[in-house]
Amino acid sequence: MWEVPELVRRTRHSLHNCFTSFSSLDLKVLVGIKAELSNPLKDAPDKGILNLSVECPAVASSKFIGRRGDDLANELTQSLQRAFGQGRLNQGCGIDLGALCIVKGKACWTIYADCVVLCDGGSLIDALSIGTLVALMTTHLPKVSVVGADEEEPEIEVDDDLSESTALDVSNGPVITSVSSIGSCYVVDCTTQEELCATASLEVAVNAQGAVNGVSQKHRGTGATASLSPGQIDEMIEFGRGIGMQVAQALSQFVVTRGQTVVIK
């Protein structure tokens, strides 16, 4: 049983920047959000851009020393990108990128979600997805006015009045649930030691509506890479979908109620 306020902490430093931390026992991650004006991608002129990154510094764990930390950071970044739908054309299913467009083909918002692992206690990708989702949920973009939208370089005026800002639409934003097979049981929220006992593990990305955004087999940190039967895969996906949907719904309620206690059973 989790109480969301005991796990999530939010801090706003300015209208364009905010930070969210997620911690549970020996696990802690920090997610920073930054918004900048930029040019849209040529392949997606009517959309904004979402950049996700993960850093695993050596000071957080001896497992992150040298190349291992870089390799793990790349794997975690790719998992977040798959979950939030950041494909070749930066389409994005976890965030409405169309709402980030200011002037088609000329100006848009670029959202940077930079994640740092402060302490590794297992289930890293789960914590990173929760921290990223809450950080995006609590991000507000300032009101902008465009002068000369038909010109080659339109002038964009940014209003720093918080009351005029708008929240990002992340109603379809996913959380990732790692489902591990240990013996005859399926386990979520594994510690580092429990992950070593797993014979197989799946990462299931699901939103508050119960829609599965993606599934991938997890190899890092597990004790083996056993193959799974189609029936086992279906059972693990359904198990992860149920847990992930509860977590996503609780996080949405936590943000809407401005930090009141929400218990995840």
Q: Is 231 exposed, middle or buried (0-12, 13-18, 19+ CB in 10 A)?
A: exposed
Q: What is the pLDDT of residues 123-148, one digit of tens each?
A: 889 999 998 998 888 888 888 888 87
CA-wise closest residue to 193 among 123, 117, 240: 123
pLDDT tens string 35-66: 899 999 998 899 999 999 999 999 888 888 88
Q: How far is the C-alpha of 251 from the C-alpha of 262, rounded, in Å? A: 8
What residue type is 125 in one-letter code? I
The structure's pTM equals: 0.83
What's the DSSP call for residue 98? G
Burial class (CB in 10 A: 0-12, 13-18, 19+), 152: exposed
Q: What letters, b where the CB count within 10 A reaches 16 and e where it falls short, cover 103-119?
A: beebbbbbbebbbbbbb
Domains of the chain listed by start with CATH number:
2-264 (3.30.230.70)
Q: pLDDT digit string (tens) for 88-128?
A: 444 446 778 888 999 999 999 999 999 999 888 778 899 99
Q: Given this model, what pLDDT does residue 178 score?
A: 92
Would you give the DSSP letter of residue 156? Answer: E
